[in-house]
Amino acid sequence: MYPRIQVNGAGNGVVTQAGGALLTATIRALGLDAALSAVLARWRKPLAIHDPAKVLLDLAVALGLGGDCLADIAVVRAEPAVFGLVASDPTVSQTIDTGRVLPPQ
C-alpha cells in the first residue's frame, strides 16, 4: 500500500514527514495493511480505485502527524513519494459514510 523508502547519505530526496514514513513502515511490518484490507473488503465498491483500508490508514497517519479532522489528510496527500496515492477529500468522506451504513458482520 505504501512505497518503500530508500535511505542514503547523499542528502537528496529529503523526506519532510519522517514520522509518517516510520508509521507506514510500522503498518507494513505489523501486517496491519493486509489484515485491514481483508476485513474491509466488503466496503470496496466494484470499480473503486482506493482500498478502504488504505484510506483509513492514511487518516491514521494524518492523525499521527498532528491532524485533527478528515481534511488533514492533505498533509499525507502532499507527499506521494512517501505515502503513495492518497484519496481525495470526497472519497475519504464516502469511505467513512460507507462504514456507517453497512451492518456489522
pLDDT digits (tens, 9 = 90+) for 38-49: 999 988 888 989
Q: With contact defined as beta carbons under 8 Å apart, do 51 and 33 qualify? A: no
Predicted pLDDT at 45: 85
What is the domain partition of the chain in residue ranges?
18-100
> How much is the mean pLDDT over the chain?
85
Query: What is the structure's pLDDT at 8?
Result: 61
Cα–Cα dist 35/37, whole Å = 5
Helix (H) or strand (E) holding 24: helix 18-30
Residue 13 has pLDDT above 60, yes or no: no
Q: Are 24 and 4 in contact (CB under 8 A)?
A: no
Instruction: Give the pLDDT score at 43.
Output: 87
Q: Is-contact 23 2, C-beta < 8 A?
A: no
- How many CB atoms sit inside 10 A of residue 80's CB? 11
Question: Which tens digits make up the pLDDT trace of 84-104?
Answer: 999 999 999 999 988 777 666
pLDDT at 103: 66
